[in-house]
Structure 1
Amino acid sequence: MEEIRTEPQSGGIAIGKAVLLKQPDLAAERREITAAEAEKEQAAFRRAAEQVRESLRPLARTNAIFAAHLDMAEDATLLQGVEEKIAAGKNAEWALEEETEELSGMLESLEDAYLRERAADVRDVCRRMMAALKGVSETSLRNITEKAILFAEELHPSDTAQMDFRYIRGMVTEKGGTTSHVAILARSLEIPALLGMEGILKKVREGEAVILDGKEGRLIFSPDAKTQAAYQEKQQAEKEVKRKLKEMNRLPAATTDGRQVVLFANAGSLRDIELAKKHGAEGIGLFRSEFLYMESSRFPTEQEQFEIYKQAAEMLKKPITIRTLDIGGDKNLPYYQFEKEENPFLGWRAIRFCLDMRDVFKTQLKAILRAAAFGDIRIMYPMIVSVEEFRKANAILEECKAELRERKLLFRESISTGIMVETPAAAFIAEELAKEADFFSIGTNDLTQYILAADRGNQKLTKLYSPFHPAVLRAVAKVIAAGHKEGKEVGMCGEFAADARAVPLLLGMGLDEFSMASNEIAAVRYQVRGLAAKQAAELARRALAAGTEKEVRGLLER
């Protein structure tokens, strides 16, 4: 028996035999072509692209991730890029491979982990196109007819479409991460998975008995009878917990002594709105509007944005907080050239970009104002560092209202505007900002890295980057207290809001709204309903008095 540990990805326990996936060789044939051959190569590429779109359409009707893949397969930026390369003298396979590398490379250069993982989706769609171009059948996973744990160098959403989950009980890969679409799919399907285990294919044998513990991040090869029996018991216990979680889905997130909080979901598309409804979200605490811009071949128009925001409001019929465009610096657009910056996270991004690019900002604000006439929508400005910035943004919002009145268009006159508190400056002047803003939402991902001067994308600084650091906790508590002093609601939309160790602490600090990935909501609801607010407040008091992270963690582990 051998055990390997790694970071958890998708919880649950799977027991079965190891199946090693072998992928077909889809390396491009590279050759230069004449102008006369270009038309034939372009036609071949168009047929391949349409073949892929046809295969995606039925999947897209019932699955949000495949709907996103269909959007990519229809995206003009990708299609035109390939055809232009063919026109420049490269055969279709070479042109497709080069365009794939350029688009995925752009995404992989971003600091945001979620956006970085979208590079894998680009590669998956283009891999389908390459297979269609070559006339190669993709790997079939439908022949697996016994309980199995699938091992692969990398898995794509298109692979999961072929899987029969009556038999495939778990997935292990050498590439991929927590925010990859395969990880998201695994969590939504409740399939245990461990991704990014470099070198794992050299350690596993075909047909070997394996136990995968996704919650603890454990892989056990050739388990003995005692270990196998223990994990079978754990499986049954997990099923009982899941049953209870589903029963609680419509219950309020209230503590044993009556304190109620709100559980919202984070979203970036209409597909995410569907998932939020499915998981019982009470609203959307963060709608990442930059996806509309990053998935387009140009700046989206007011009408295009209006239709998306309106659909979101009508689909959910619950509160939605739209974060205005958080682009620039580390988040590039294929159709707009940003200047290279030494430190993009401290650069020309978010509200700074919007206040300078007034036409782009006003287009978005007018779309939001119009959509707000059809649902409960509020506006959140990111990266605010001063009262003046907030006032400038609201002044532009008033200009947008005046222009919509002139055009005699329906819009919401009175709309709430808040601040995403993610800079130390905003935390320090939270009392002044609370007098102006209608609400706060704390973005702990950026706030942590700014307070600790630790790049969250730098693997060498992993130990330094921690929201449990006393400085971060005190900043969070300060913001909550400042908001409450002015009678304003305070939420949190960073990953910290769904951390099981942090939930009692945040509850004790008085956080009103927890916003997280949809699939995390049930577990947080279950946890909150088992806590007492008075005890949580005492825990928070003691944690805020602690001088080291070790002391904080010691209190939380008792």
Structure 2
Amino acid sequence: MCHRSLQVDYRGEQSMIIKGISASPGVVIGPAVTISDIVKFETYKIKPSEIKKELIRLEVAIVTSKKQLHELQTSSDSHLIPEKADVFQTHMQLLEDPLLLSEIIQKIHEEPLNIETIIDVVFGNFIRKFSAMTDEYIKERAVDLVDVRDRLLKNLLGLPHASTNPIQNRETACIVVAKNLTPSQLVYMDKSRILGIAIEEGGTTSHVVLFARSLAIPTLVGVKDLMEVVINGETVVLDALNGTIETDVSKKKLTGYRKVIKLIEKDKVKLEVYRNLRGITIDKRRISLGMNIAFPAEAYQLKAFGAERVGLYRTEFLYMGRQNLPSEEEQYESYRDIAQAIDGEVIIRTLDIGGDKNLPYLNFPKEDNPFLGWRAIRVSLESENMFKVQLRAILRASESGNVKILYPLISSVDEMKRCRVLVEEVKSELRSENIPFSENIEQGALIEVPAAVEIMDLLADEVDFFSIGTNDLIQFSLGVDRANDRISKLYDPLHPGVLRLLKRIIVTAHKFKKPIGMCGEMAMNPEATVILIGLGLRNLSMSGPSIPIIKRLIRKLSYKEARKHAETCLKLASSEAIRNYLKPIMEQIFSED
């Protein structure tokens, strides 16, 4: 069964449907509980002689907040995936942030007001700055600032944190609805009482979303006008497969949704069977399935999803949500922990920053088209000191496991050669310091731009392996900005031009006897998987929850048949024709359980 077909459609039924972004999949029905957690306080002037007293109050509130956050870390570790509680370490770092503290001290001397007002003003300025950033990950760190601000205010005012929890005494589970939700709010809630979460603001990389995914709570974010439409206590349907929340739902339609929920639960049980099985086609062709990760903690989830290796470790998240570059030791410990946690290979992608992921402390220029600008390997090669720190950390970690280096957005042979020269320089440094590393660490190029496809024969002399990054490759090949709502429908992985380009990439890699894999979102598309296997791809890496679905498809697929399907699809003139051809094939595969 393919989840994409799980839709309830009763034409003529009157209900209110609002759209959002699916952040954690699932479908749930239940009463909505709206959350608003505004901390109220008075504003009043103080005498200059009272400033010291107010700053002492702040000091006490900071100490209390740190103690609470330490307790939350422990509490969170017992209910969630342990390392996800690192968010509270981030909150503790914010409490010690010298820039924030100096702004508070300066403000209270310039404008003598009670410390609650000063905190609200200073934090408010930072929250607005973060919220205005184009980088989604940095933008969503504004929620962490809100969380820390509210914690300080409550401690200053002597307000309990759990008392504002509206689901605390509920006997039945509910769907939490909020304009925004902070990690602290979620941790205080009884998770057994949460059916789903819908948030008006925020995006898919927020800390609350990471928590929700860890707990398998269906979640929608970016639901416009959510708080205006949903009434507290009314029954709603949260469909985080199709990205909707629905109110005023008829009994007939509710019955349809309940059938969908039963199918999903039944499908989960079926998929569980595939977790510990290998990805092998009916005619015994081996397909290796890896997992894409962004945080070290996710390495411990590989077995839970049935992954054999880390096919892509996105290191940029080590650099985000902070005021300065991560040290060599921080990076080394992160890479080492992942290498030690698994038996298979770990492909570490070097810093892929820029485009929609900027770092405030690197002074990124304002660009008309940042995806075609200063980003990825271009940033690293122009910031050699920073790059060599990362390479040192990766090389040191290579002593702990099968670590490989992957360079993003390679578009020339010179770039690849320069990367290898820098690696040799770092190796020489480590040898002189008697620091162990793997002398034979493999280095690969991420094929993301058409120019790289054209020169793969030349790149083959400089790389040990290739990996295909379909997210950028597709948008560059089709001339489509996938973040542009107006034309995002043109971003199509099954476009005939994309499929022919992929065939050329795979054939070239095989010709020069270089291992080739795929780590983009296309790898977790069941329709695309049939074609990719038919084109000869044997290494796929994707998000964890997609692995059992793709593994089931592989074990029901014949490589011989997949080759025929790929050959047929390459002759078709449109993605619509390709999908129509694949539809009965997919239905047959997913109906065989």
Q: What is the TM-score with the length of structure 1 in the denominator?
A: 0.90
| Secondary structure of the corresponding residue to residue 422 of structure 2 | helix
Per-residue CA distance 1:408-439 (angstroms, 9 max, x = gap): 21111001000111122112222322343111
1:46 to 62, 76, 79: 62
Counterpart in 2 of 1:348? 374
Counterpart in 1 of 2:307? 281
- Whole-Å separation in 1 of the counterparts to 2:44 and 2:508: 61
Equivalent runs, 1:330-479 vs 2, <5 Å: 330-479=356-505
Equivalent runs, 1:42-121 vs 2, <5 Å: 42-47=58-63, 49-62=65-78, 63-64=81-82, 66-75=84-93, 79-90=97-108, 91=115, 94-95=118-119, 98-99=122-123, 101-102=125-126, 105-106=129-130, 109-111=133-135, 113=136, 116-121=139-144
Q: 1:418 to 1:214 in 2, by over 3 A?
A: same
Cα distance, 1:219 vs structure 2: 3.9
- Whole-Å separation in 1 of the counterparts to 2:221 and 2:394: 38
**Worse overlay, 92-101 or 455-464:** 92-101
Residues 119 and 149, structure 2, Cα contact 8 Å, conserved in 1 = no
Where do 5+ consecutive residues of structure 1 fail to align?
none
Residues 15 and 147, structure 1, Cα contact 8 Å, conserved in 2 = no
Q: 1:238 to 1:293 in 2, by over 3 A?
A: closer
- Whole-Å separation in 1 of the counterparts to 2:576 and 2:567: 16
Give the partner amino acid of 1:340.
Answer: K
Give the partner amino acid of 1:535.
Answer: E
Counterpart in 2 of 1:4? 17
Residues 500 and 524, structure 1, Cα contact 8 Å, conserved in 2 = yes
Equivalent runs, 1:84-233 vs 2, <5 Å: 84-90=102-108, 91=115, 94-95=118-119, 98-99=122-123, 101-102=125-126, 105-106=129-130, 109-111=133-135, 113=136, 116-138=139-161, 139-140=164-165, 141-233=167-259
Q: 1:430 to 1:518 in 2, by over 3 A?
A: same
Would you say how many aligned residue pairs link Structure 1 and Structure 2? Answer: 557
Q: 1:30 to 1:456 in 2, by over 3 A?
A: farther
**Worse overlay, 219-228 or 148-157:** 219-228
**Worse overlay, 37-46 or 444-453:** 37-46
Cα distance, 1:310 vs structure 2: 1.2
Q: 1:36 to 1:457 in 2, by over 3 A?
A: farther
Cα distance, 1:127 vs structure 2: 3.9
Q: 1:278 to 1:128 in 2, by over 3 A?
A: farther
| Secondary structure of the corresponding residue to residue 273 of structure 1 | helix
Counterpart in 1 of 2:591? none
- Whole-Å separation in 1 of the counterparts to 2:41 and 2:475: 39
Kindly indicate whether residue 525 of structure 2 is the aligned counterpart of residue 499 of structure 1: yes
Give the partner amino acid of 2:553.
Answer: Q
- Whole-Å separation in 2 of the counterparts to 1:326 and 1:103: 25
Q: 1:192 to 1:474 in 2, by over 3 A?
A: same
- Whole-Å separation in 1 of the counterparts to 2:47 and 2:104: 8
Cα distance, 1:215 vs structure 2: 2.2
Residues 104 and 123, structure 1, Cα contact 8 Å, conserved in 2 = no
Residues 340 and 400, structure 2, Cα contact 8 Å, conserved in 1 = yes
Counterpart in 2 of 1:303? 329
Q: 1:173 to 1:378 in 2, by over 3 A?
A: same
Residues 95 and 148, structure 2, Cα contact 8 Å, conserved in 1 = no
Per-residue CA distance 1:28-87 (angstroms, 9 max, x = gap): 969798586164364145235414423432135343574231231132696212211012
How many percent identity over aligned positions?
A: 35
Counterpart in 1 of 2:566? 540
**Worse overlay, 254-263 or 325-334:** 325-334
Where do 5+ consecutive residues of structure 2 fail to align?
1-13, 109-114, 585-593
Counterpart in 2 of 1:482? 508
Give the partner amino acid of 2:448.
Answer: E
Give the partner amino acid of 2:103.
Answer: K
- Whole-Å separation in 2 of the counterparts to 1:322 and 1:110: 26
**Worse overlay, 521-530 or 5-14:** 5-14
- Whole-Å separation in 2 of the counterparts to 1:469 and 1:28: 60
Cα distance, 1:394 vs structure 2: 0.5
**Worse overlay, 319-328 or 31-40:** 31-40
Q: 1:301 to 1:516 in 2, by over 3 A?
A: same
1:237 to 259, 263, 269: 263
- Whole-Å separation in 2 of the counterparts to 1:195 and 1:222: 20
Cα distance, 1:398 vs structure 2: 1.0
Cα distance, 1:538 vs structure 2: 2.5
Counterpart in 1 of 2:34? 20
Q: 1:41 to 1:403 in 2, by over 3 A?
A: same
RMSD: 3.0
- Whole-Å separation in 1 of the counterparts to 2:95 and 2:456: 42
Give the partner amino acid of 2:225.
Answer: G
**Worse overlay, 252-261 or 55-64:** 55-64
Cα distance, 1:381 vs structure 2: 0.7
Residues 116 and 153, structure 2, Cα contact 8 Å, conserved in 1 = no
| Secondary structure of the corresponding residue to residue 57 of structure 1 | helix
Cα distance, 1:264 vs structure 2: 1.3
